[in-house]
Amino acid sequence: MAKRKLTIYVIIIYAIELLLIMQSYSTAWAGDYYEFAVSPSSSDQQNPDIYGNTVVFEQFVSSDWDIYGADITDPQAPSVFGIAEFENDQTVPAIHGDIVVWQDFVETDNDIYGVDLNDLASIFAVANYEMDQTLPAVYNNSVVWQDNSFGDWDIYLSDITDPVNPLEYSVTPFLEDQLAPNVYENMVVWQDMSAGDSDVYMTDIFDLNNMQTHLISGFELDQKTPVVYGTKVIWDDNFFGDSDIIGAEIYEPKRPIEFTISMETSSQTNPDIDGHIVVWQDDYFGDWDIFGYNLTTGQEFLITDNAYDQINPAIYNNTVVFQDNRDGVWNIYAVILSGPEIAECTSAPQGDVNGDCKVDLTDFAVISAGWLECNLVPAEYCQ
């Protein structure tokens, strides 16, 4: 038995050494993706978002910022259209389905407005109170934003099923500042300053009259700019001294399970997620580029390798949009991802222990680490 155990342990050590070698080459460089300018312009464009084949962004026109959209069904000839072209600034658009929302500087402060793309003439107010309402996000008929009406920043939600008479709810009636909300289905996430630094929280809004709030990540230093999709929350975390991309599985929100996405010595920030792909901006090469990560395969990959800066990415399905200053001004660019970097899992094969949809040395190492262990009682049944 002793000789058998020794042989198994040698195999385990060899397998682990192979895995470490393989992991050191786990980042793929930029693939052969189709890249294009969404709406080439000599004016600055920024803060893109995307849903389906529609990209929304803000553009500086004459003396202020306006909201525009582009239909990229034909990437070689995107169709650009105006959404909100008024006096003062309309900025930070967000889109889901046919609904676009943005913050709008009206008279003396920022308010939240929206429109259904099927009727661009019917713009409606989501929240237009004194003080500032900013940084909106939208999912179906739920719009969330940060609001400083009561002296600090709080998160609010509006049900716009009837956009003429939206129903408003307070998501975070807490002390200190709650910032940068994001929403998916019945989950709202945000960064919270209650403990003196930024932490990530989530509120379940399934029952709007009995919302349940949970701490997702509350380590030292800052966890910020969270985004959510399905049962995964992704954020920018500087616990280790620089900005890294960290995630958590929140299938049970009271017991989130954290995992690492990218912890290079460079700065990784501004994450977004759709499906099994996470994107962010990264200064690994000395300027800002866009990177991606496949949650299914555990593969990190480079999306842009242009010598200028690419920042503020957003993703829908296999299309990533971002702002890019390669043209001397900020323009919105898009990349259509393809290839093994975006591989999906239809069904896990037998023997897939770690859930990456393939059986390989990683699974072997997990199984081998517990080889010959036995928890039967009485212990003699293990012989």
Residues in the chain: 383
- State how far the Cα of 292 lies from the Cα of 322, in Å rounded to an integer: 13
Helix residue ranges, H only, the chain = 2-23, 361-369
pLDDT of residue 11: 45
> Average pLDDT for consecutive 10-residue bins of the chain (383 residues)?
43 45 46 92 98 98 96 97 96 98 95 98 95 97 96 96 96 92 98 94 94 94 96 94 94 94 93 98 96 96 94 98 97 96 86 78 79 82 75
3-state SS assignment for residue 340: helix
pLDDT of residue 245: 97
Residue 206 phi, psi dihedral angles, 5° rounding: -55, -45
3-state SS string for 258-275: EEEEECCCCCEEEEEEEC
CATH topology of domain 29-349: Neuraminidase (2.120.10)
Q: Determine whether 76 is exposed, middle or buried from the number of CB atoms within 10 Å of its CB (0-12, 13-18, 19+).
A: exposed
- For residue 382, the 8-state DSSP code is G
- For residue 9, the 8-state DSSP code is H
Residues of the chain with CATH 2.120.10.30: 29-349
pLDDT of residue 14: 45
pLDDT of residue 20: 42
> How many beta carbons lie within 10 A of that of residue 355, not counting itself?
12
pLDDT of residue 357: 80
- State how far the Cα of 189 lies from the Cα of 314, in Å rounded to an integer: 17
pLDDT of residue 328: 95
pLDDT of residue 28: 55
- State how far the Cα of 171 lies from the Cα of 146, in Å rounded to an integer: 10
Find the Cα–Cα–Cα–Cα dihedral 177, 183, 189, 191, rounded to 10°. Answer: -40
pLDDT of residue 29: 56
pLDDT of residue 367: 80
